[in-house]
Amino acid sequence: MLKAIFFDMDGTITRPHINWQDLRQRVGVPTGTPIMEYVESLPEPEQNRAAAIVREIEFAAAEQAVLNPGAAELIAQLNTHPLKLALITNNHRQAMHHVVQQFDLHFDLLLSREDALLKPAPDLLLLALKEFQLTPEETCFVGDGRYDRIACEAANVTYIHLAHNRDEPVEGPTIYELDELWPHLTL
């Protein structure tokens, strides 16, 4: 029986909005290197400058965020069930809170990169499991990216992929719109 659903934010609750190529260029991140891993590897003055650029771009995206179709309705409907809901993002806390407040979304738990290691590490998911006192089998995670999938595999949490392109190959449970989530849930 499902007791909690974890959601990614960017690309899942909100439409993908950040121009990652521009962000990588502005910060100077080499191709193939994760952005925050690169930022954290810099010496302190450069790290502070790079982190400020990342936060600025993320917050601007949060201010301009648009919900994915059906996101507000889905969260509201899920809140009528005896479920715990968590928003788990690699974004920073201020941007996450802005999105939640802007769209009046209710989650029982909000976790950002300030709370634990970023996805693809499973740490944020494991922290949510600990906070809710649940096992991986009692939860699922809805996300739209490779890091979401890898984190779920490492935490042994069922992953449901929100695909943005019907032509991309699917692997495991996949939805194309948030309102397609219901058949994947055992409530």
Instruction: Give residue-wise pLDDT tens across range 91-149.
Output: 999 999 999 999 999 999 999 999 999 999 999 999 999 999 999 999 999 999 999 99
Where does the pLDDT of residue 20 fall: very low under 50, low under 70, confident under 90, or very high at 90 and above?
confident
pLDDT of residue 168: 86
Domains of the chain and CATH, by start: 4-15+66-184 (3.40.50.1000), 20-63 (no CATH)
Where does the pLDDT of residue 18 fall: very low under 50, low under 70, confident under 90, or very high at 90 and above?
confident
pLDDT of residue 186: 83
pLDDT of residue 133: 98
Nearest Cα to Cα of residue 74 among 83, 64, 62, 63? 83
pLDDT of residue 154: 98
Give every CB contact of residue 187 below 8 A, 6+ residues apart in sequence. 1, 2, 81, 83
Q: pTM for the whole thing?
A: 0.94
pLDDT at 38 over 90: yes
Q: What is the mean pLDDT of the chain?
A: 95
| Amino acid code (one letter) for 108 | D
Contact 114, 123 (CB under 8 A): no
Beta-bridge partners for 115: none
What number is the average pLDDT over the span 27-35? 93
Instruction: Give residue-wise pLDDT tens across range 69-93.
Output: 999 999 999 999 999 999 999 999 9
